Amino acid sequence: MRVMVLGGGVVGVTTAYQLLKDGHEVVLIERRSGVAEETSWGNAGMIAPGHSFVWSSPRAPMILLKSLVLKDQALRFRPSADPRLWSWSLKFLAQCTAERARTNTLRKHQLCLYSQRLLHETLADAEIDYDRNTRGILYFYRSEERLAAGVKHMQLLSDDGQETQVLDRDAVIRVEPSLAAARDKVAGGIYCPTDETGDCNKFTRALAAECIKRGAEFHLGMEILRIDADGDAILGVETSKGRLTADAYVLALGNHAPIFARQLGVSLPVYPIKGYSLTIPVGNHAAPPTVASVDEDNLVAISSFGDRVRVTATAEFAGYDTSHKPQDFDFMLGVVRDLYPDGADFERAEGWAGLRPMTPEGTPRFGRKKHRNLWFNSGHGHMGWTMSHAAARVTADLIGGKPTEIPLDGMMM
Ligand SMILES: Cc1cc2nc3c(=O)[nH]c(=O)nc-3n(C[C@H](O)[C@H](O)[C@H](O)COP(=O)(O)OP(=O)(O)OC[C@H]3O[C@@H](n4cnc5c(N)ncnc54)[C@H](O)[C@@H]3O)c2cc1C
C-alpha cells in the first residue's frame, strides 16, 4: 500500500520507519527544510516511562487557578478569547479526578514501556548516533516531606513494572557526583535506572536518512495546504508544490493536526502548551551533568547530550505563539547554574520555545474517524519522544489490519 505520512516530526518519521518495516511504499511530507524542526527540536530528550504521570490530576485545577493570580514560574495560564482553549480546558478538567488520573497514567505508562522496548529494537536494527545516555533519570526533591510524597506518588508506576530506587542525599550524590556542589539543596530522590535520554532531533534526522535509504520518499520544504476528501475517503493532499495522492494517509502534524482535522469536520482535542528550553555548551567545565534529572520542586528538567546540556521548563497556555525573550529563561538558567555551578558555559546558552500537542487525557489519539483511509497519530503532549516508537508501531498495525500488542482503550478517535 502507498501510505503518505503528513508531518516530519519524531512521530511522523518513526511512523514512516514502522510502515517501511511492514513493506509499505512510504511518502512523507514536511514543510520545514529538515525533519524534527518544530516541537521535536528542543525537547529535554528524556525517554522516561518513570515520568508517565498525566498532567490532568486532582491537583491540576488548583494549580491552574493559582496561576491566574500568582506569577508562577512553572505554569502560566493566561485566559484568552480563543474558544478552543476553553473547550479543551473543560475536557482537561473532566479528566482531573483521582480515578481518571490513575487510569490515564497507567495507560500512558504501558505505552511508554512498550515504546522504549521498540526504540531498543530500532537501535539494534539501524545504526543511529543521537548522543544516547543510558545512566537513568534522577527525579530529586529539595525537602524530606516532598520526597516522601514523591515516593508515595511513584508507587503507582513501581507497581506497574517501573524499576525505581529511593535515594537519600548521599546516594543521590553517588549517582550524580556533579550535584556535589548543591548537596545541601537536595534531600533525596527517586532514581529510575532504566529511563534514558538522547537528542530527539539528531535521532529523527538519522532515522529519516535510514528511511530514505530503505526507499521512502521524503518531501521536505513542502507545505500541506489542504487535505481533499469526498464522502468517507481522502482523495489527495494539495501542497505548495502540487497535488500528491496515496492509498492511506497518517495525520502526524503535531500541533497542526487539529487544524486540518477541523477542516475535515473532525474534532481532535489537541491544544498547544508552550515550553522553553536552553541548550548550553559544556565547554571546558569540569562538572557537567552526567545523569539526566528533574528538579521536582521547580519542575526543571536537565539532560546532557554529548558536549551540550539541555534544560527545559514551563507550561504556558499561549496559543500557537513560539516567540521567546531573554527573561523567559532567567528562572531555569538560575536553577541549573545553582545546581551545577561548574557544569557548562552558561553565558553561551541558547533559548528555544516549542509547543506540546496535548490531549486532555495526556495520551495520544490513534485510529480513524470519518474517513476510511485517514489515520490519526496525534496528541503526544509532553512525552512524544518517549511514546513515538509505540505510537508509530500501533499506527502501522492498525493500517495493516493487525492486532496491536497493547490495548488502546481511551486512545482511539
Ligand atoms: C519544552 C519541551 C520539553 C519536552 N521534553 C520531552 C521529553 O523529555 N521527553 C519526551 O518524550 N517528550 C518531550 N517533549 C514532547 C515532545 O517533544 C513532543 O511530544 C514531540 O516532539 C511531538 O512530536 P510530533 O512529531 O507530534 O510534532 P512536531 O515535532 O511538531 O512535528 C510536526 C511536524 O508537522 C509539520 N507541519 C505542520 N504543519 C504542516 C503543514 N501544513 N505542512 C507540512 N508540514 C507541516 C511541522 O513542521 C512539524 O515538523 C517536550 C516538549 C517540549 C515543548
- Give per-residue pLDDT as tens, 106-156: 999 999 999 999 999 999 999 999 999 999 999 999 999 999 999 999 999
The closest alpha carbon to 217, from 254, 257, 244, belongs to 244
Q: Whose CA is nearest to atom 21 of ligand 1?
A: 40
For residue 76, name the pLDDT band (cuts at 50, 70, 90).
Answer: confident
Q: Whose CA is nearest to atom 50 of ligand 1?
A: 43
- Domains of the chain as residue ranges with CATH: 2-214+268-399 (3.30.9.10)
- Mean pLDDT for 155-178 is 98
**Which residues, in sequence order, are bridge partners of residue 189?**
140, 167
- Give the pLDDT score at 307: 96
Pairwise CA distance, residues 363 & 289, whole Å: 30
Q: Which residues line ligand 1 (CB under 6 A)?
A: 7-12, 29-32, 36-40, 43-46, 48, 223-224, 252-254, 256, 275, 277, 312, 354, 356-357, 380-386
- Give the pLDDT score at 81: 85
Largest CA distance in the chain: 64
Ligand 1 centroid from CA 38, angstroms: 5
The C-alpha cell at 378 is: 496525534
- Which of 59-68, 165-174, 289-298, 361-370 is predicted least confidently? 59-68
- Which of 53-67, 155-169, 191-205 is predicted least confidently? 53-67
- Give the pLDDT score at 73: 60
Q: Which of 32, 38, 207 to mutate to test the pocket of ligand 1 (most atoms within 8 A of CB)?
A: 38
Hey, is 178 helix, strand or coil? helix
Q: Assess whether pLDDT exceeds 70 at residue 55.
A: yes
